Structure 1
């Protein structure tokens, strides 16, 4: 019968908590869910046929909270990773992308400062590109293509299919489309233009992508 020698594997944490990382992750997810539910407390949820502004964020918050609760429960059942030193790069860029979207999707006033409402046309790609730099492997080309692909998908999903009032572009650009077009027609045309732009960028830069390094400095995958 073989035995494990000292130092042959990671030490399992003692006490009732078997996965400290799961505890931290579960607490953070539950806190985020509680914050989202509190921030959407005054918004109308609506119905499935006529969704209100609180429907999607509220149920996403509930799903996130349940995921955090599951992580917290498994932390006392299954062995997992111990807590390690945190890297602030990820949270800083992800939160920065969310804030950039919130400050640019509609006009935002704070004291004497007012940000321009850029609409989904600019706020969506801006948030995706900033949030994408949460990983050191991020490449601007890939993020631009992703933003030009994901933003029109979100525009069609939320603005067209779910009938949520989403500002598409700055008011200064309203004259680009015929005045007799409806909001949905403008949204669909803008989404189509962005999707075509994503294909053009992909084809124009297809041969300029460098090799991807999938190993860390220790040589492990």
Structure 2
């Protein structure tokens, strides 16, 4: 039977006893460091005049602190590493790359993609990343994309006035010429929210019809 001295030995106390937390924490720290490095050339500005890097920097710092907390918790008993598939990694990386090459104009040799802005790149990234799990449902992802993207558009483009491309320039021609960019932004956000609500309620009605048909068929 181990003695109390053996149970509290330094080697035992500082050994990794929750590998899942440790791996997750190291991954978050690496991700935060990468984000800070990629945004090192962007101006941060001040609280009164925020630059394009201020909010992403603070988000990266928060992710890094969460990673440190996970690493610290890995010295207590916890979950072991489980088997994982490449599906999640593939779709998450695909969503990140897709967002990067569509939000601003992108050219690589003969391949040229016009800047589509956050209004297109945001929903695209949300829908693609959602398929990282096999439980993903396209209708639910569309509702999430059309509901979350307008919030980001209004936060970054309207409230914070960050120089983030919001929508394709060709879209401005669909609105009155005397509308400001913020007016077009708000109208686009409102249309996306209406679209999310329409998909939600139409899907509910379709599901209710299926249930009624199933019930009637069972009675028959």
Query: How far apart, in 1, do the equivalents of 2:199 and 2:36 lie?
Result: 39
TM-score by length of 2: 0.84
Which of residues 186, 198, 201 in structure 1 aligns to 2:199?
A: 201
Q: Is the 8 A contact 2:172 2:184 kept in 1?
A: no
Is residue 172 of structure 2 the alignment partner of residue 167 of structure 1? no
Higher mean alpha-carbon deviation, 84-93 vs 126-135, is at 84-93
Is residue 62 of structure 2 the alignment partner of residue 63 of structure 1? yes
Shift of residue 123, structure 1, vs aligned partner = 1.1
Structure 2 counterpart of 1:50:
49
Shift of residue 15, structure 1, vs aligned partner = 7.5
Which runs of 5 or more structure 2 residues have no equivalent in the other structure?
A: 1-11, 209-220
Structure showing greater radius of gyration is 2
Q: Is the 8 A contact 2:28 2:67 kept in 1?
A: yes
What is the 5 A alignment of 1:181-192?
Answer: 181-192=179-190
Q: Runs of 4+ in structure 1 displaced over 6 angstroms? A: none
Q: Secondary structure at the match of 1:114?
A: strand
Is residue 135 of structure 2 the alignment partner of residue 156 of structure 1? no
Which runs of 5 or more structure 1 residues have no equivalent in the other structure?
A: 1-12, 211-221
Q: CA RMSD in A?
A: 2.0
TM-score by length of 1: 0.84
Query: How far apart, in 2, do the equivalents of 1:51 and 1:14 lie?
Result: 44
When you count helix as a share of all residues, which structure comes out higher? 2
